[in-house]
């Protein structure tokens, strides 16, 4: 069974940093493209970053480009999101989501809450 478990969400002050993790199990992690998607309270879904299975191809949404860094460790079956220069508008539940071939965002974690506030 495919399982994705996010962790690392917390309350952080504006300008601060946070690192999110997503632990994967139940599938060959290195074969799956991965994403981070966030959802602000009461709002819709916002894609923020993508990484290919090998890690060689990475994309970011303009809203986080230059501040967030996606990475993966296939040996540890883990996906990461390093978030710097956090702003109040980054407050959201952050989901990791996996593509499975033609099935995009086929698998999702339960999400981890990041709150940016002083």
Residues that bind other proteins (CB under 8 A): 35, 37, 44-47, 50, 59, 61-62, 95, 97, 102-106, 108-111
d(CA 91, CA 93): 7
Closest contact distance (angstroms) between CB of 39 and other proteins is: 9
Closest contact distance (angstroms) between CB of 109 and other proteins is: 7
Which one, 29 or 109, has the nearer CB to other proteins?
109
What count of other Cβ atoms lies within 10 Å of the Cβ of residue 62?
7
Which one, 11 or 40, has the nearer CB to other proteins?
40
CA angle, residues 46, 95, 11, in degrees to nearest 5: 95
Which one, 71 or 93, has the nearer CB to other proteins?
93
* Cα-based distances in Å from 79 to 43, 71, 87, 89: 24, 6, 22, 23
């Amino acid at each position: 069974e495919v399982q994705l478990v996010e962790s690392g969400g917390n309350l952080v002050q504006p300008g601060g940093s946070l690192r999110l993790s997503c632990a994967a199990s139940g599938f060959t992690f290195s074969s799956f493209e991965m994403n981070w998607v966030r959802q602000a309270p009461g709002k819709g879904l916002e894609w923020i970053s993508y990484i290919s299975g090998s890690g060689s191809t990475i994309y970011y949404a303009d809203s986080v480009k230059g501040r967030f860094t996606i990475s993966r460790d296939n040996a540890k079956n883990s996906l990461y999101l390093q978030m710097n220069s956090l702003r109040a508008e980054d407050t959201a539940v952050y989901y990791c989501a996996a593509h499975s071939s033609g099935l995009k965002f086929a698998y999702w974690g339960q999400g981890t809450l990041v709150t940016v506030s002083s």
